[in-house]
Amino acid sequence: MFVFRFILSFGLGISLAHGFTLPQEDETPRSCNLPKGTPGFCVPLNRCTAINELVENLETVTNDVRLYMQDSFQCPPNPKKEGFEVCCAPELIVPALTVEPETVPRNSCAFQFDIPVTCAPFSECTPILQLIENIRRPIPQAIPILLQNSWLCGFEAIGGVSQPQVCCPNAVLKPKKKVPSDHPNRGLLPLDTECGINDPVQKRIVGGQDTVLGEYPWLVNLGFKSSGGTTDEILFKCGGSLISDQYVLTAAHCVTNLPESITLARIRVGEHDLGKDEDCDPDSFPKVCAEPVQDFNIEKIIPHESYNAPNPFQNDIALIRLDGKVQFNRFASPICLPFKDDEEESYEKVESQNTITDVAGWGATTRTGRKPALLLQKLKVEVFEGAKCREVYSTRGGKLTPLQQMCAGGENGKDSCVGDSGSALMRDVRPLPSIFKIIGVVSFGPRRCGTEGVPGVYTRVRYYLDWILDHIEE
């Protein structure tokens, strides 16, 4: 909302400088109404400088934004002229006209074509959010005026804050918040009392430390097979989290767009040390050993349908359905999903002094992404401020989306790394007994793992709860 307010305030009191002229037309242009109802004229695109500048200053034009602008401005065809015309506010037309539009102001939103439109909070209008997010900085002077004259239709007090309203097609309005616990598939996942419980035998991620047996019983290994190899060797190169007895949550980049010779071949549940056939605690007496690992084939891979769009690594989340059901035990059990967290929870502020945020995996233990760990590694991390993280990655050519991605780490020599992809960023808010929930999925990070001031990026699980529930089956 801050960006939208900034753009609006930026436009107040600004008059456009008409530094060039175009041939004056012989006839007065047709009149029209802008989306918010104010009168305008249908003119060629090159006469409406503000729309021109908006188009030229969009880094990415999604399909929703393209249709939004087309329905907002494109006038009906003019049989007397070639090419299309746009509905433009008189004060934005170059050269200026000396006549007034013949249409009368309208007190409601409507687009150029007959589609249902509502004056709604801008935060609920997907195309305007995408449009504002993709405007290059610094913002040209004409764009704030265009936003005000065309789409701004009012203000509404929400939670004690006055929030701008914009004209928005009903079809693209974000649905009202649903409570994931009311989803018909919620019963296919464990109750909060049946997940996230660890019972480690004792009460390498870069800079991490060894875990104890049974510390994260929901973490699984994704095994890959090469068709060009001389053996049937399985290489474990990604991680995931068990969220039920038949579903694993992981990163989309671990399961889709793989090299042609590489296939996901196995999911291993209950592993601790990849270098040993039997995992035992060397310090326990009497000797305590884990149950044998459980290996599964893959019944179905479900990457997010919008993975890598509109920006690289966006929607980096996937589900894997196993070909059988996991037998839960002390060393193999599911983690909780963040059903009780608010949809816009940032996780930046800890809930109590007992709050712990961990990331764990079998990934590389060197900053250059080499030397994968055999023994499951863990690392305590701090959630990185979202706005600062977006700024850090924008200077590196990346683009993050606040509600869908989050950042953690950024401490020198400590980070998730190559091979940790798909594993879990976990939070435990109770001292004993520990109840863990997954809040992020390891997505990507700097080229050198554990770079000071450059955190790892995680897919924000809370945003995708409905997607998860929509795609699981009994």
Catalytic entry in 183, 253, 272, 304: 253
Residue 270 near residue 293, CB atoms below 8 Å: yes
Rounded-to-integer distance, Cα 262 and Cα 285, Å: 43
Residue owning tokens 């003019």: 78
Residue 310 near residue 63, CB atoms below 8 Å: no
- Classify the C-alpha dihedral 45-46-47-52 as positive or negative: positive
Rounded-to-integer distance, Cα 334 and Cα 173, Å: 35
Residue 68 near residue 131, CB atoms below 8 Å: yes
Rg, C-alpha atoms of the chain: 27
- Classify the C-alpha dihedral 276-209-386-346 as positive or negative: positive
Catalytic entry in 31, 150, 333, 421: 421
Rounded-to-integer distance, Cα 156 and Cα 133, Å: 21
In sequence order, which residues have a C-beta less than 8 Å from that of residue 59 and are 6 or more positions away? 134, 135, 136, 399
- Please choose, from the candidates 353, 332, 260, 316, the residue with its C-alpha nearest in 3D space to the C-alpha of residue 463: 316
* Residue 252 DSSP code: G
Catalytic entry in 71, 245, 279, 316: 316
Residue owning tokens 């056939």: 277
How many other β-carbons are positioned within 10 Å of the β-carbon of residue 213? 23
Residue 361 near residue 251, CB atoms below 8 Å: no
Angle subtended at Cα 79 by Cα 76 and Cα 80, rounded to the nearest 5 degrees: 120
Residue 318 near residue 467, CB atoms below 8 Å: no
Give the tokens for residue 254: 């671990």
Is 253 noted as a catalytic residue in this protein?
Answer: yes
Burial of 382 (0-12, 13-18, 19+ CB in 10 A): middle
Rounded-to-integer distance, Cα 411 and Cα 337, Å: 27
Rounded-to-integer distance, Cα 97 and Cα 298, Å: 67
Is 183 noted as a catalytic residue in this protein?
Answer: no
Is 316 noted as a catalytic residue in this protein?
Answer: yes
- Maximum distance among all alpha carbons in the chain? 98
Which amino acid is residue 461, in one-letter code? V
Give the tokens for residue 127: 């195309």
Q: Where are the extended beta strands (E) located within 297-394?
A: 298-303, 318-322, 356-361, 377-380, 383-384
Catalytic residues: 253, 316, 421
